[in-house]
């Protein structure tokens, strides 16, 4: 029997991919993760998998040849994704060396390899296309992701099977509750509004007004569809942006979150101006520790992705955040 391997399977995107595979009848899945912080188990509790393997035990097993001819594909979502982490050795060991080990295995075994990169590779650039001239990370997390992308590019001639890197932009959606402060702003805004009736955004920075910093916010639903597209098309390889191609402001996310909650309570939607006037949307000073290390604007260039044949439309913030908040409210009830 051959298995689909999902690393980071108990994490945010990984568990959604497992659930997406289950939805199409795939359950021969080996879930790989580190459950030192055991609360993540809930992300796999409603998933059907064949086995669970600790991430360190898994890398030892493949290096010892224990999975020879037993893997259909590896979807590598495991990573240290804390953009404020300053331990470079931890970041490089987790995000770079581990990814390299899996790549070497996939090359030797001719196994398709789809891995998580990040829009953090672009840093403060205002153009976001998959090309070295746009790449200048602002933190060691972004650097670890860029270094592996560069390694993939250099080794491309050796690839015996599909290798795809997906540069995730700002992903939000189900199964992110364990991420704490690294959870999406939609999740934080939802909890703030439910707890206090207000949401807090950063004051202006990087030339943008209060709450007007703009990111390419993408629903995890779209991210799963993108991963499964490449899973279905092993003949397509490369590094691609995983974003909508349409930046929206943090204010947009806040308005969508509050109005989703208001709608569920039978209340009318309010405009940004009205939410500001009523003190529901408030602004706090921009954190000192993020100055010079913060992306005030991101917007994926989708040209490469569309050229690869991915034609599905993306959810807007208004659509995706509303759906997400409705599911959070259902669970809260």
Which sequence positions are flagged as catalytic?
Answer: 141, 179
Q: Helix 98-109 crosses helix 140-154 at what angle (to 10 degrees)?
A: 20
* Beta-strand relationship, 170-172 and 217-219: parallel
Tokens at 40, concatenated: 């993540």
Q: Which residues pair with 7 in a beta bridge?
A: 32, 76
Query: How many degrees, rounded to 5, is the angle at CA 52 between CA 49 and CA 58?
Result: 130
Contacts of 85 (CB under 8 A, 6+ apart): 91, 140, 141
Q: What stretches of the chain show up as alpha helix (H) in DSSP? A: 12-23, 55-63, 88-91, 98-109, 140-154, 185-196, 220-232, 250-264, 272-277, 303-307, 317-332
Place of tokens 């689909």: 4
What size, in residues, is the chain?
333
Q: CA 77 to CA 52: how far, in whole Å? A: 15
Decide if 158 contacts 149 (C-beta within 8 A): no
C-beta of residue 83 within 8 angstroms of C-beta of residue 171 = no
- Beta-carbon contacts of 274 under 8 Å, excluding residues fewer than 6 positions away, are none
Beta strand 248-249 with 214-215 is antiparallel
The answer to whether 161 touches 113, Cβ cutoff 8 Å, is: yes
Positive or negative CA dihedral for 34, 186, 311, 137? negative
Strand bridging mode 217-219 / 51-54: unpaired
């Amino acid at each position: 029997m051959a298995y689909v391997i999902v690393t980071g399977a108990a994490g945010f995107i990984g568990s959604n991919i497992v659930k997406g595979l289950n939805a199409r009848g795939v359950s021969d899945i080996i879930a790989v993760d580190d459950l030192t912080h055991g609360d993540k188990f809930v992300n796999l509790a409603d998933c059907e998998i064949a086995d669970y393997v600790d991430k360190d035990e898994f890398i030892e097993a493949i290096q010892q040849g224990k999975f020879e001819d037993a893997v259909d594909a590896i979807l590598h979502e495991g990573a240290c994704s804390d953009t404020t982490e300053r331990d470079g050795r931890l970041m490089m060991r987790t995000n770079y060396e581990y990814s390299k080990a899996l790549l070497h295995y996939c090359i030797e075994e001719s196994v398709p390899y789809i891995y998580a990169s990040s829009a953090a590779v672009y840093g403060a650039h205002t153009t976001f296309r998959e090309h070295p001239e746009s790449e200048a990370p602002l933190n060691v997390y972004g650097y670890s992701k860029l270094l592996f992308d560069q390694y993939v590019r250099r080794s491309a001639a050796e690839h015996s099977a599909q290798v795809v890197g997906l540069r995730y932009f700002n992903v939000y959606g189900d199964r992110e509750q364990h991420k704490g402060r690294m959870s999406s702003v939609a999740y934080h805004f939802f909890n703030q509004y439910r707890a206090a009736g207000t949401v807090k955004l950063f004051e202006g920075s990087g030339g943008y007004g209060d709450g007007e910093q703009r990111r390419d916010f993408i629903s995890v639903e779209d991210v799963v569809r993108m991963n499964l597209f490449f899973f279905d098309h092993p003949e397509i390889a490369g590094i691609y942006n995983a974003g909508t191609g349409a930046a929206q402001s943090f204010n947009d996310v806040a308005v969508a979150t509050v109005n989703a909650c208001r709608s569920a309570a039978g209340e009318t939607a309010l405009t940004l101006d009205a939410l500001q006037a009523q003190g529901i949307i408030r602004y706090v000073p921009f954190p000192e520790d993020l100055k010079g290390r913060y992306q005030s604007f991101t917007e994926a260039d989708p040209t490469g992705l569309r050229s690869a044949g991915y034609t599905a439309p993306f959810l807007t913030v208004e659509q995706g955040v509303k759906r997400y908040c409705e599911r959070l409210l259902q669970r809260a009830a």
